[in-house]
Amino acid sequence: MPLRALFSASQSRGNSPRMRTSRRSSGGFIRSWTGAGLRGSAPIRPFALLLLVALTACASPRAADTGTYTNPVLDADFPDPTVIRAADGMYYAYATQGERDGAKVNIQVARSRDLAEWERIGDALPAKPRWASETQDFWAPHVSEHGGTYYLYYSAKPDAAVRDTTRGLCLAVATGSRPEGPFVDRGEPLQCGPGFVNIDPMAFDDPRTGRRLLYWGSGFGPIKVQELAPDRVSFAAGSRPVDLVHPVPTADSTDYQRLVEGAWVTYRAPYYYLFYSGDNCCGPRAHYAAMVARSRSATGPFETLAQATGAPSSVILERGGHWTAPGHNSVIRDARGDDWIVYHAVDVRRPRSRPTDDVNTRRVMLIDRLVWTDGWPRVDRGPSTEPRARPRTR
């Protein structure tokens, strides 16, 4: 989730990311054809040579599929990342508001061909909604596509909260025709409430029942789910929220489940897996990790990893190496069928974007492979610091 410490003030987030490009020369490859294995043969005509090179290149895996990556895959402040693969075959990542080249970005968006090399491409929500035109709190987006329309679910601080401090953030929906946007808000919030209870939305279509569902929650309350209407921009008539995972009331500062948020749901038969994070995303007291629960129904009841196995906690990803406060993840599957967890974390060697920022506020984007053991996901030695094999994208 975004910086709770800055809930009542506008925030500045992020720098321009480093842009990494590479280009391979084919000169050495051509020389190997012309100099080896063809002695005594008739000279190769230029056209035949080009044809041989083209055919061989087509038969070989792409470099992006056979190479490695090293975290972070996006080295800029890019909190609460959600990743989808769009109809154009590209991967799109969306994040909480930020700043680029000195300008505010309401909803950050980046694009990639391979999940390992990312390009930031602008603002997915360039025009603020009319009900939040005076504020600058646009948090934790999720995007899904149905019937050629893209739906952007997010949270925002309403203008009414500027004058009435008892009012908190709202759930919101915007739509667009392209994955990068621009998305246009529906004109009114989906739901509002106190503090930061109504944040971190995630839309999910139940593959078994066809029901359209929205998960959300934080603010020391439970993670909830409620059915969406067929229009996907309102709740279904007569539906009510169902509580799924509750925070643990404890004074133990080492317990990550003192606060729960950042829901992400995926189905892997016969279970639905609910990933969530807690307890303090960022700032001087950053203490954050990703956890998991599962159920045989998308609407629960969910049993946490700790409840099901007797483990001391439900954590699958926590501080390691030079990474601290990892969490608020999404999950994406590559062409080989491997699942990848996409999340933010703070590099302790560079914990802020500017010298004047609070420590542990520069949250960059990482990926690591998920492995499944005894019916539960585990992060493969993450957060990783060394080069790893890239996701397969074809």
pLDDT at 35: 31
pLDDT at 43: 42
Distance CA 336, CA 376 (A): 19
Distance CA 26, CA 37 (A): 18
Q: What is the DSSP string of 26-85?
A: -HHHHHHHHHSS-TTSPPPPHHHHHHHHHHHHHHSPPHHHHSEE-S-SB-S---S-EEEE
pLDDT at 66: 61
What average pLDDT does range 199-217 have in this prediction?
A: 98
Q: What is the pLDDT of residues 61-83, one digit of tens each?
A: 333 446 999 999 999 999 999 99
Say which DSSP state 208 is in.
Answer: T
Look at residue 273 and give its three-state secondary structure. Answer: strand
Buried b (16+ CB within 10 A) or exposed e, 36-45: eeeeeeeeee
Do residues 316 and 326 touch, judged by C-beta distance below 8 A? no
Residue 130 has pLDDT above 70, yes or no: yes
At 5, list the tokens. 């410490």
pLDDT at 260: 98
Residue 226 has pLDDT above 90, yes or no: yes
Look at residue 198 and give its three-state secondary structure. Answer: coil
pLDDT at 15: 37
Q: What is the pLDDT of residues 143-200, one digit of tens each?
A: 999 999 999 999 999 999 999 999 999 999 999 999 999 999 999 999 999 999 999 9
Neighbour-count burial of 140, counting CB atoms closer than 10 A to its CB (0-12 exposed, 13-18 middle, 19+ buried):
buried
Buried b (16+ CB within 10 A) or exposed e, 207-227: eeeebbbbbbbbbbbbbbbbb
Buried b (16+ CB within 10 A) or exposed e, 122-137: ebbbeebbebbeebbb
Residue 37 pLDDT level (bands cut at 50, 70, 90): very low
Cα 18 from chain centre: 19
Percent of the chain topping pLDDT 70: 83
Residue 372 has pLDDT above 50, yes or no: yes
Q: What is the pTM of this model?
A: 0.84
pLDDT at 394: 80
Residue 103 pLDDT level (bands cut at 50, 70, 90): very high
What average pLDDT does range 241-269 have in this prediction?
A: 97
Beta pairing partners, 204: 213
Distance CA 166, CA 162 (A): 9
SS (H, E, C) 82-137: EEEECCCCCEEEEECCEEECCEEECCEEEEECCCCCCEEEEECCCCCCHHHCCCCC
**Closest of 365, 351, 236, 223 to residue 298, by C-alpha:** 223
pLDDT at 50: 40
Do residues 175 and 149 touch, judged by C-beta distance below 8 A? yes
Distance CA 376, CA 339 (A): 12
What average pLDDT does range 96-115 have in this prediction?
A: 96
Distance CA 19, CA 375 (A): 39
Q: Which of 23-27, 49-53, 207-211 has the highest mean pLDDT?
A: 207-211
Strand order across the 339-347 sheet: 323-333, 339-347, 363-373, 376-379
**Under 8 Å CB-to-CB from 147, ≥6 apart: which residues?**
none
Domain ranges of the chain: 4-26+56-389
Q: What is the pLDDT of residues 295-331, one digit of tens each?
A: 999 999 999 999 999 999 999 999 999 999 999 999 9
At 249, list the tokens. 């009331």
Neighbour-count burial of 97, counting CB atoms closer than 10 A to its CB (0-12 exposed, 13-18 middle, 19+ buried):
buried
**Under 8 Å CB-to-CB from 319, ≥6 apart: which residues?**
289, 325, 326, 383
pLDDT at 176: 98
Averaged pLDDT score across all residues of the chain = 87
CA distances to 30, 310, 379 from 292, in Å: 51, 14, 11
What CATH number labels 4-26+56-389? 2.115.10.20
**Closest of 191, 215, 185, 56 to residue 125, by C-alpha:** 185
Neighbour-count burial of 352, counting CB atoms closer than 10 A to its CB (0-12 exposed, 13-18 middle, 19+ buried):
middle
What average pLDDT does range 345-358 have in this prediction?
A: 97
pLDDT at 1: 58
